[in-house]
Amino acid sequence: MNEDQDFNESLASEDATKENLDVTQNDENSEGLGEAVIAAAKKGVNIEKKKKAKFFSKNDKDDQQDAKIAELTNDLQRTRADFENFRRQSDIQKQHYGNVVKMTTVKKVLPLLDDIERAAAAQPEAMAPIMKNFEKTLKELGLMKIASDKGEAFNPDLHDAVMVDGDGDDEVIEETLRAGYYYDGEVLRPAMVKVSKQ
């Protein structure tokens, strides 16, 4: 019986040792498993942080790109506005220079007109048809005579008085010495007149 008891005790101690080993292994496995779970959780947190960092850095990059696009758009709009202003100024200058050239050319023609008028005054019958065509052409070119007939009121903006007779308050034209002309509504040359004060 002692032998049986010893045998049973040894079996029991073996079983207890096995159980202890299994528990230890289970504990080790659970510790390993726990560590694995913790490591995976940490890895997940790191991945999430990286995603957030990428998200924020992507937003920062997007913001920087949007700012750059806005800056370039503003530069383009300014450049376009500057070009439009330059084009308008160029058109105005071209028109102005064109008008200056026309006026200069017409001014050079004025002495010729004076000669034609003197010829017409000397030979009115012979020059009458030529003067009609001539006056029509002048109107088409935008060149018109300034009214300076005898008895007309003197206007210093339109008339240049070279002689003054009398001592009255009213100034009237007595004689036209040289015709004056408008060109496109502007006074090209004032009429040279003799004025009488009445």
Tens-binned pLDDT, residue by residue, of the chain (198 aa): 455 555 555 555 555 444 444 444 444 444 555 565 566 556 655 555 555 555 555 567 788 888 899 999 999 999 999 999 999 999 999 998 888 888 888 888 888 888 888 888 888 888 888 888 888 888 888 888 888 888 888 988 899 888 888 887 888 889 888 989 888 888 889 999 999 887
- Specify whether 38 is located in the same domain as 86: yes
Output the CA–CA distances (angstroms, integers) from residue 62 to 47, 50, 57, 69, in the order listed. Answer: 22, 18, 8, 10
Q: How far apart are CA 196 and CA 128, in angstroms?
A: 30
Q: 10 Å Cβ neighbour count for 39?
A: 10
Q: How far apart are CA 11 and CA 20, in angstroms?
A: 14
Contacts of 133 (CB under 8 A, 6+ apart): none
| The last residue of a domain, from among 109, 130, 151 | 130
* DSSP class of 123: S
| CATH for 176 | 2.30.22.10
- Specify whether 120 is located in the same domain as 147: no
Provide the 3-class DSSP secondary structure of residue 21.
Answer: helix
* Domain membership of residue 184 as a residue range: 142-198
Is 136 within the bounds of a domain? Answer: no
Is 137 within the bounds of a domain? Answer: no
Is 89 within the bounds of a domain? Answer: yes
- Specify whether 195 is located in the same domain as 150: yes
- Specify whether 91 is located in the same domain as 155: no
Q: How far apart are CA 16 and CA 35, in angstroms?
A: 28
- Specify whether 124 is located in the same domain as 151: no
- Specify whether 71 is located in the same domain as 160: no
| R_g over Cα of the chain | 56
- Specify whether 7 is located in the same domain as 101: yes
What pLDDT does residue 26 have?
45
| The last residue of a domain, from among 130, 159, 174 | 130
Nearest to 153 by CA among 171, 175, 178: 171
- Quote the number of domains for the chain: 2
What pLDDT does residue 34 have?
57
- Specify whether 111 is located in the same domain as 34: yes
Is 183 within the bounds of a domain? Answer: yes
Is 135 within the bounds of a domain? Answer: no
